[in-house]
Chain A
């Protein structure tokens, strides 16, 4: 049997989420829950500690996944990416006194996408596989910065202070890492 790749796992997840959206398939949702709940809880625990609050925030995240399964858009990335954005927003609500402003695709002043996604599912599956490999191949100093930024809710200046390196170094390592990841995906969105 061939090893299951990140991309295979990703398309399994997309299929399960599709079943939840289409028929409120409880078994499909259970499979999603069994997979994502420990990951989301670990993410919450980075700020909440390993107790009831992390469990509660995980449950809120998974209930949102259940309720909003129909809004998942494969052209915006893997299911894990979508779950991450839901968890991130709930975590900000829980731990910060400030809001996280976001754009609204239904706003009349919103400028719509200029490129129609071609083979969305294939692209998304391939991109998440390529992204996974590229992240695994990053030098540790760059990967460590990404983890601090994504998990610990640390601003770049806080990261600079914590690691005792200049802010400019934090920014240039982030840029190097992001360049590599975008190159690995071979996706457009190159802007400079």
Chain B
């Protein structure tokens, strides 16, 4: 698996800082589970946090503070770093990685898909952030997602199958980061249904007035 489309620096830094909303973070964390290169970038971004932490104070903790902690120390749990896996777990290539699997409530085959019509399905995913809309989408092989522009940002992370958009192909692990200026037309490739995680910060604006007219009923 070669990932070609990665998470942007601004998302990665916000995620490392802990200031990224839950919905976006779900797409970022799921991409990170599939992308060792972005995990190395995350190490750098978290290193910024570590370095800034060093500069926050020059004080040395007081005896009072130390002794009040000392009384609370128990036996450390005997845990050690998990052994690094050397071989990819081939059996599970194609499944939903964590943290997404828990959010979705199961793996691809066991999910309770809801029809959107025309062979497309979705599963809304709840988060606590109040600013994103998150769902899994299943687009039938060879079929387009209705053409749309955005009221805001949209992240689309491919989990199975692939789609083509603006002459780029997006396959498992690839993430498309679309801003409000982009009108795009993702089309699932003909070989298989495309399953992706879509995170938006505002309802999509479909260009076709027919789709726009029924949008409230589709809930998309």
Chain A positions within 8 Å of B, measured between CB atoms, are 6, 20-21, 24, 26, 29-30, 33-35, 37-43, 55, 59, 62-63, 66-73, 76-85, 87-89, 91-92, 97-115, 127-128, 131-132, 135, 146-147, 149-156, 170-171, 174-175, 178-179, 181-182, 185, 187-192
A106 / chain B contacts, CB cutoff of 8 Å: 82
Tell me, in angstroms, the Cα distance from A89 to B46 when the chains sit together: 12
New contact pairs (19) apart from A111-B88, A178-B12, CB-CB < 8 Å? A26-B73, A39-B57, A67-B74, A84-B46, A87-B53, A97-B128, A101-B29, A103-B99, A107-B33, A109-B89, A109-B92, A128-B50, A149-B14, A150-B17, A150-B48, A151-B52, A178-B44, A185-B44, A191-B38
Distance between A33 CB and nearest chain B CB, rounded to angstroms: 6
Q: Spot the interface stretch: B64-72, B116-124, B135-143, B203-211.
A: B64-72
Chain B positions within 8 Å of A, measured between CB atoms, are 1, 6, 8-10, 12-14, 16-22, 25-26, 29-30, 32-41, 43-54, 56-61, 65-66, 68-69, 72-82, 84-89, 91-93, 95-101, 103, 127-129, 173
Interface contact A111-B18, CB-CB below 8 Å: no
Interface contact B51-A43, CB-CB below 8 Å: no
Interface contact B51-A131, CB-CB below 8 Å: yes
Distance between B162 CB and nearest chain A CB, rounded to angstroms: 17
Can you list 23 residue pairs at the A/B interface with Cβ under 8 Å? A24-B75, A26-B73, A34-B61, A37-B66, A38-B60, A39-B54, A43-B53, A68-B76, A68-B77, A77-B47, A77-B50, A84-B52, A98-B22, A99-B127, A107-B101, A110-B98, A111-B97, A114-B37, A131-B47, A150-B16, A153-B18, A155-B14, A178-B12
Q: Which of A92, A98, A101, A192 has the most CB of B within 10 A?
A: A101
Interface contact A88-B98, CB-CB below 8 Å: no
Interface contact B98-A83, CB-CB below 8 Å: no
Tell me, in angstroms, the Cα distance from A150 to B29 when the chains sit together: 18
Distance between B44 CB and nearest chain A CB, rounded to angstroms: 6
User: Who on chain A is nearest to B41 by CB?
Assistant: A189
Interface contact B44-A109, CB-CB below 8 Å: no
Choice from B29, B61, B127 contacting A98 with Cβ under 8 Å: B127
Interface contact A37-B65, CB-CB below 8 Å: yes
Interface contact A103-B97, CB-CB below 8 Å: yes
Choice from A89, A109, A175 contacting B18 with Cβ under 8 Å: A89
Interface contact B96-A191, CB-CB below 8 Å: no
User: Who on chain A is nearest to B38 by CB?
Assistant: A191
Choice from B54, B61, B69, B96 contacting A6 with Cβ under 8 Å: B54
Interface contact B72-A127, CB-CB below 8 Å: no
Tell me, in angstroms, the Cα distance from A92 to B100 when the chains sit together: 19
Which 8 A-B residue pairings sit nearest by Cβ, starting from the closest?
A81-B50, A189-B40, A98-B128, A80-B50, A38-B59, A103-B33, A37-B61, A109-B97
Interface contact A80-B22, CB-CB below 8 Å: no
Distance between B131 CB and nearest chain A CB, rounded to angstroms: 9
Interface contact A70-B76, CB-CB below 8 Å: yes
Interface contact B88-A101, CB-CB below 8 Å: no
Tell me, in angstroms, the Cα distance from A68 to B75 when the chains sit together: 11
Choice from B45, B51, B84 contacting A112 with Cβ under 8 Å: B84
Tell me, in angstroms, the Cα distance from A72 to B58 when the chains sit together: 24
Tell me, in angstroms, the Cα distance from A91 to B19 when the chains sit together: 11
Distance between B149 CB and nearest chain A CB, rounded to angstroms: 17
Choice from A37, A108, A131, A190 contacting B91 with Cβ under 8 Å: A108
Interface contact A84-B32, CB-CB below 8 Å: no
User: Who on chain A is nearest to B73 by CB?
Assistant: A66
Tell me, in angstroms, the Cα distance from A127 to B48 when the chains sit together: 11
